[in-house]
Structure 1
Amino acid sequence: MIKLKSPENIAAMQRAGRLAGEVREAVKAYAKVGMTTRELDLYARKIIKKGGAEPSFLGYNGYPANICISVNEEVVHGIPGDRVLMDGDLVSIDIGTYLGGFHGDTADSFVVGKANPEAEDLIAATRESFFVGLELCVPGNKIGDIGHAIQEYVEDHGYSVVRALTGHGIGRKLHEDPAVPNYGRKHTGDVLRPGMTIAIEPMVNAGTHRVYVLDNDWTIVSADGRLSAHYEHTVAITEGAPLILTKCD
């Protein structure tokens, strides 16, 4: 069941979301070649705790870290550890914060060290596909309109949208109804209504859309080993333009 949020709820979600956005930008600025992904995870935790929040992901269905860090062919749910970041790596960070009874959820991808044009082009298309989908986030449109717009943009740029994973509703729980696929047909799915809060998160592969799960039962990788990028914001549907809750500016 979709849970509509009051203006007060959305304001509280914006506080959680702003912190998630601040963590996202801080981790991106902190990341350097030679660091381990665990170092980034612990840095993120420090900022989350300093902000008076808890990491949404830690312990969620047994997840063992504070944030998700996925590198190169890893799509999502990469577990931080001893992996050392190398020149030109594509790094995706997914961050959740729980503050004041609500969650914020955001993700971005970036390149560490020397330029990597292949990765940077993929990242740019992934980010832009989010904003193409965001334009459809107005009352009366449907969930399928968002996914169709994202898929069309991604495929027009020669990439593929991961189908095994979707965005989701969000609020007092990290994952709520409805599912928000990054693919699909226009005019299908739930009708968008003011008070809906959703996490829109294109996951885009350079090659095939197919993925599989590693033996750690968490990390999802592209089936052909090619690069993958991820971009996400928590968004509120309003009477007018959509409101991004995980901005930090």
Structure 2
Amino acid sequence: MGGASTLQPRILSSFYGNGFLKSAQPLHQLFCCNPENKHLSMQLSRTFSGLTNVLFNRRNADELLNNKRKRLRPGKLSPYRPVPDHIPRPPYVNKRITPGIASGSQVHDEKGIECMRASGKLAAQVLEYAGTLVKPGVKTDEIDQAVHQMTIDSGAYPSPLGYGGFPKSVCTSVNECICHGIPDSRALEDGDIVNIDVTVYLNGHHGDTSATFFCGDVENEARNLVKVTKECLYKAISICAPGVEFNEIGKIIHDHADKYHYGVVRQFVGHGVGRVFHADPVILHYRNREKGRMELNQTFTIEPMLTMGSANPVTWDDNWTVVTEDGSLSAQFEHTILIAQDGAEILTQC
């Protein structure tokens, strides 16, 4: 597990790994680039970034140590799952370099919108099925197997597989895992919460969605975290329409999270999605003053990540798995939406 003392917060898409962030938005006041590793780092001191934790967090590390729940540890990975040759691959497959966020919004014509609706609907169906598998004793690798099979049976490619070297077809983020959890041999336990993040590539378009599920008998504190995180997503979607500023998304999410004293993860963001996996705009889930307005027929994701304790992320040595600094629980929900004349259409629902 990566050391918290050396972690520099980075703004990343929710499935961005260690790649370089490229954005057309004026982020230079907030971020600086490290030329050695091409990481974009937020120019916030640890003292400042920890201030929110002091003021708002519900738990601290000492309380967590007395909890019965064990910290996550890496399990064993199963072999790489093949995809039939006839299924089209995204351009990044078999390239170890993680793609950046593409410049230019994903705005679609009528045909493109129909493709986005199809990929979004399939992603939703796969996620719904994956959620039914969440039970004590089920391995996260079994969930990956099911997601992989359902996706390729539908003639689609599981977008995470091979993205910057990611070894699986879905992300399964359990308990304190904020995002990018790699499915492995760990069996789910009674009381766990698990986010399943599904993206499928169908007819040249990506559909991206996630939800947090309960495993067995889950404590009320965890249930409330999941409930509020979901509410944050839908409150944000409700204000989306042509001409609305993107920073309104962060405000409404942050305001709602603050009511319950939950932390809002800042380093991972929503993003444009469509013909490419990650594109402009960058969607910040916290209060901000970034410029930019929503466009008609534009598609992007909103995917807030809330925590019960520290919102500071720590990345494991696998370079993907991101957990909370203090081991506190984290939850996430995500939809791909289309900006329509009268508001937002959720593409990733059954």
TM-score range, shorter chain: over 0.9
Distance in 1, matches of 2:184 and 2:260, equals 33
User: Cα distance, 1:243 vs. partner?
Assistant: 0.5
* 1:191 counterpart residue number: 293
* 2:245 counterpart residue number: 142
Distance in 2, matches of 1:201 and 1:7, equals 25
Q: Is the aligned partner of 1:177 residue 2:280? A: yes
The equivalences for 1:1-249 within 5 A come to 1-185=104-288, 188-248=290-350
TM (norm. structure 2) is 0.69
Distance in 2, matches of 1:78 and 1:166, equals 16
Structure number with larger C-alpha Rg: 2
Identity %: 38
Distance in 1, matches of 2:288 and 2:140, equals 37
Distance in 2, matches of 1:122 and 1:198, equals 24
User: Cα distance, 1:185 vs. partner?
Assistant: 3.2
Q: Which runs of 5+ in 1 are unaligned?
A: none
Aligned residues: CA RMSD:
1.0
User: Cα distance, 1:43 vs. partner?
Assistant: 0.7
User: Cα distance, 1:184 vs. partner?
Assistant: 2.1
Distance in 2, matches of 1:183 and 1:113, equals 31
User: Cα distance, 1:10 vs. partner?
Assistant: 1.4
Distance in 1, matches of 2:150 and 2:239, equals 33
Q: Which runs of 5+ in 2 are unaligned?
A: 1-103
Distance in 1, matches of 2:311 and 2:218, equals 25
SS in 2 for 1:195: coil
- Structure 1 consecutive aligned stretches of length 4 or more whose deviation exceeds 2 Å: none
Contact 1:168 1:179 in 2 (8 A): yes
TM (norm. structure 1) is 0.97
User: Cα distance, 1:108 vs. partner?
Assistant: 0.3
Contact 1:110 1:120 in 2 (8 A): no
Number of residue pairs aligned between Structure 1 and Structure 2: 247
